Amino acid sequence: MFKHAILGTDLSKASSALIESSDEFSRIGIEKITLIHIIDLRNTKLLESFTLEEVEESLAKQKNILEGKGFDVNAEIIYGIPSIEIEKKRKEVSADLIIVGSNGTNWSGTVLGENASEILHSMKSPVLLMVLKQTKSLDEIFSYKNFFELEQSIKHWQKFEPDWELYRKNITEHILLPTDFSNFSEHAFECLMEQPFKINRLTLMHVQDEVRIGPHLENKLEEFNKIDGERLHRLSQAFKQKHPETEISIKLVYGKPKNEIVKAILTDNVTLTVMGSQGRGYLSEIFLGSVSHHVARHADSHVLFIPLIC
C-alpha cells in the first residue's frame, strides 16, 4: 500500500502545478508527504540565483497547499545530488513511494526532467512519474533570438516562465499494465492487484516483439498469440477476483514493444502506466534500457515504476 510519499520539488511553476493537483495522490492512498527541495551542489548558477530565505518561503507555500488538501506534511531543504538524497531520505523516513514531476523545466538552471531521469536510473523503490505540460510554448513567449539572450540572466528569465498543468487528471481512471510475463512484470502486476484503491479500467497488454520473432518464427505467431492470450486471460481473472468493480480488457499486438506501448497509451487515453523494473540501481536492457526508458520519456500518461526488490 502507498501511504507515505517522498515528493521532490524544484520550486518551479511546474512543481507548483503538480502540488496544486495533489488530490491525485489521494486516489492511490497517499496520506503523508515528505516534501523535499534539494539544492544541487553541482549547479553554481542555482546557488547564486536564490537566497535561502526565498527558498524557505517558496517551500512553505507549497507545504501549506498540501496541508490544505488534507495531507500530513513535513518539508525539508537538503543540499546534495537529487537522485542520491531522495533515495537516502526515503530510507530514513520509510516512505512507500517517490513522486517526481516529468518535463518540468526549472528556469533556474535545474531541469526537473533530468533529475527525474537520474532518480529512475538509481531507483530502489516505486517511483511515480507525473507528467506535466506547458500551457503555453516557449515560441509563444520568446523569439528565437531572445531565448539565448535571456539565458544569460536567470532572474529575468524566471519572470517569463510559462505556466504548467498536470496532463492527465483522475490517475486511476484507466491503467495500462504492459507485461512480458517476466518476474519483473509479474511483481508489478501483483503489487497493483494488492492496492486497495479503486481502478475504473485496466488494460493488460502484451506485445509480440517483432525483433525477437523476426522472419524465422513468424509462422508460429498464431501459436504464440494463443499461449500469451491465455496468460493474459488468467491475469485478468485473478485481478477481477480482487477488484470486481474494475473493467478489464486485454491487448495483444505485434510490433516493437516501446512503440506499441506508447501508441496504446495515446490512443486508449491511458491515465497511468504501471511497469516493472529490476530496481538494482543500474542501467540495463530490461530496466531503463529501451522499453522503460522510452515509455518514461514519451508516454502521454503518468508512469509508475515498480522495482522487483521493493
Is the pLDDT assigned to residue 301 strictly greater than 80?
A: yes
Residue 308 domain-assigned?
A: no
Instruction: Tell me which of 27 and 105 has the higher pLDDT.
Output: 27
Give the torsion through C-alpha atoms of 262, 29, 18, 77, to 10 deg: -120
Same domain, 198 and 106: no
Give me the pLDDT at residue 108, please. 34
Residue 307 domain-assigned?
A: no
Same domain, 236 and 110: no
Residue 213 domain-assigned?
A: yes
pLDDT category at 31 given cuts 50, 70, 90 is very high
Same domain, 16 and 161: yes
Give me the pLDDT at residue 162, please. 67
Mean pLDDT, all residues of the chain: 83
Same domain, 42 and 153: yes
Per-residue pLDDT of 176-194, as tens digits, reads 999 999 888 999 999 999 9
Same domain, 154 and 10: yes
Same domain, 189 and 162: no
Q: Among residues 166, 200, 218, which one ends one of the domains?
A: 166
Distance CA 106, CA 159 (A): 12
pLDDT category at 206 given cuts 50, 70, 90 is very high
> By mean pLDDT, which of 24-28, 284-288, 291-295 is the weakest?
284-288
Same domain, 160 and 205: no
Same domain, 179 and 250: yes
Same domain, 161 and 241: no
CATH of the domain at 46: 3.40.50.620
Same domain, 32 and 141: yes
Mean pLDDT, rounded, for 6-16? 90
Same domain, 36 and 102: yes
Residue 291 structural domain:
174-302
Residue 235 domain-assigned?
A: yes
Q: What domain count does the chain have?
A: 2
Residue 233 domain-assigned?
A: yes
Residue 119 domain-assigned?
A: yes
Phi, psi of 47 (to 5 degrees): -65, -30
Residue 268 domain-assigned?
A: yes
Per-residue pLDDT of 108-138, as tens digits, reads 333 345 566 677 776 778 999 998 888 765 5
Give me the pLDDT at residue 112, please. 43
Query: What pTM did the predictor assign?
Result: 0.85
Same domain, 159 and 180: no
Phi, psi of 133 (to 5 degrees): -125, 145
Mean pLDDT, rounded, for 245-265? 96
Q: Among residues 145, 166, 187, which one ends one of the domains?
A: 166
Instruction: Tell me which of 52 and 160 has the higher pLDDT.
Output: 52
Q: Among residues 116, 141, 166, which one ends one of the domains?
A: 166
Give me the pLDDT at residue 298, please. 83
